[in-house]
Amino acid sequence: MARPLPFDPIEEAGRQWDQRWEGVVAMQAATSIMRAQQIVLARVDRALEPWSLTFARYEVLVLLHFSKAGSLPLGKMGDRLMLHQASITNLVDRLEAQGYLRRVPHPTDRRTTLAELTPEGRAIIEEATAAVVAASVGVADLDEQDQRDLHRILAELRRGAGDFDVATS
């Protein structure tokens, strides 16, 4: 598909939608969120290519890096990253195959498995994060105030969906 298009396809969809149905503003907002997610994800994934990482795998590594011991139970990881357990298992499998983390038994609960950063995983976090930051985490087209406003607006959507139960600033 040739880019850029000579028109905004979401505006055109809105024009067509409005002739048939109600809710055009909500449709355009939702469609814009979905397209923006594709753009941001592609930009961040491109920044992470040198480490053969996707944003999802990078998030796992960062979460483990932020933990006190560099390890967490897989179930807790799913909760924190808001992912289904099957997705966490798949991400951990891929990162383990890359040598960036390993599964280890929980020291006190035999039913629990921990994902733990390996030295290789720890070694790439700073470089990979520098690349993500250099790509402005995919939102370089927005100034800092717009980034703050977007975060605030989307936090309201997420709170309404039950992601969390506290006010954000």
Helix/strand/coil (H, E, C) string of the chain?
CCCCCCCCHHHHHHHHHHCCCCCHHHHHHHHHHHHHHHHHHHHHHHHHHHHCCCHHHHHHHHHHHHCCCCEEEHHHHHHHHCCCHHHHHHHHHHHHHHCCEEEEECCCCCCCEEEEECHHHHHHHHHHHHHHHHCHHHCCCCCHHHHHHHHHHHHHHHHHCCCCCCCCC
- pLDDT for 169 equals 57
pLDDT for residue 25: 96
Q: Under a CB-based contact definition with an 8 Å cutoff, are residues 115 and 72 in contact?
A: yes
Query: Quick check: 168 pLDDT over 90?
Result: no
Domains plus CATH for the chain? 45-135 (1.10.10.10)
Assign 6 a pLDDT band (cuts: 50, 70, 90): very high
pLDDT tens sequence across 79-133: 999 999 999 999 999 999 999 999 999 989 889 999 999 999 999 999 999 999 9
> pLDDT-derived band of residue 2, with 50, 70 and 90 as boundaries?
low
Instruction: Let me know: does 33 contact 47? Beta carbons within 8 Å.
Output: no
Q: Tell whether pTM > 0.85.
A: yes
- 7-55 pLDDT, tens digit per residue, is 999 999 999 999 999 999 999 999 999 999 999 999 999 999 999 999 9
**What is the separation of C-alpha 30 from the centre of its chain, rounded to a whole number of angstroms?**
17
